[in-house]
Structure 1
Amino acid sequence: MTPQSDEDEIWRQIVASFHAPAEETSAGQPWPDRENITPRSGDQRDRDDLADPLGERALADGGPPAAGRGGDLHPDADGDDDDDHYVPPPPPPLPKVELGTKIAWLALFGGPAYLLLAALLRWPMDGWILFAAVAAFIGGFVALVVRMGDGPPKDSGWDDGAVV
C-alpha cells in the first residue's frame, strides 16, 4: 500500500465513526472521579446546594436565595470583607507650578477663548483687542516651548545612557 492509500483509509475510518456514540466515561461524567465534589457534612442543605448551585430552587419557591445556601451570587455584597480588596496608596501631591508657567498656560488658552466668546456673544472687537488675543496665544505657546527644556537632568552624571 502507498502512503496516500493509508491516509485515505484512516480518513474513511474517521468519517465512519463521526456519528458513533462517544465512549462512556466512569459513571457518565466527562471529568475524572478525583474532581468530584463531595458534601462537607451530612446536612441535606449541603447536598441541595451542590445540586442547585445558583439557587434556582429558592427562586422557584418565590423567595430570594438565602445567604450561604448557594444562591447568593455575591456573598460580599455588604462590603464586610475588605481583606481581599486592593486599596491603592494615596497619590503623591501634584508638583508645584511656577508663576511663569501658569501665566503661559493662561495666555495660551485665554486668548482664543476670549476671541471665541466675543464672537459668540457678538461683542465689538477693536483691532488692539484682536492683536492682544493673538499675541497672548503666540506668546504663551512660545513661553511653554522655551520652558520645556530638552536636555538631560542636571543630576544625571557623566554617563546617563540612552536618552529617549
Structure 2
Amino acid sequence: MTPQSDEDEVWRQIVASFNDTAERDSADQPWPDSENVPAEPTRRVVKPSEEPEPDEDSYNDSYKDSYKDSADDEEEDEGHFEPPAPPPLPKLDLPTKLAWVALFGGPAYLLVAAMASWHMEGWALFTAVAAFIGGFVALVVRMGDGPPNDSGWDDGAVL
C-alpha cells in the first residue's frame, strides 16, 4: 500500500464513523479525583519563627520594641510598589494649540449643531470641515520625521 492510500483509508473511516454514537456515555465515565474542588478552601497557617532574646531585661525591652517596629515596616512595605513621578508634559506653542483646537473644534461644532437642529449655512459647514482638515495637516506637518533632540549619540537600531 502506498502512503496516499493509507491516508485515504483513514479518512474513509473517520467519515464513516462521524454519526456513530460514543461507546460510553460521558455520564458513565469516572471523574478524576484531581479535578474535585474542596468545599472550603484550605488556609495555610504560618507560625512566626521564635527569635532568641537577650538576657538583660532593659536590653530585652528595647530589643522587642525595635524588632516589632522593623517587622511592621517590612510587612507594610512588602509587595507595594510606588512608581516615580512622571516627567512634566512638554509646553505647547501657540500654532500647535490652535491646530488641536481646530482638529476637535470643527467636528464638535458640527455635532452640536446637528443635535440642536440648527440651520447651518454653507460657509459654516465649509469652515468646520476646513478647520478639521487644516488642524490635522498642521499637526502632521509639525510632527517631523527626525529623531528627538535629546536622544543622544546612540539612536539604537536605525534602518
TM-score bucket of the superposed structures, by smaller chain: 0.3 to 0.5
Higher RCO, 1 vs 2 (CA within 8 Å, ≥6 residues apart): 2
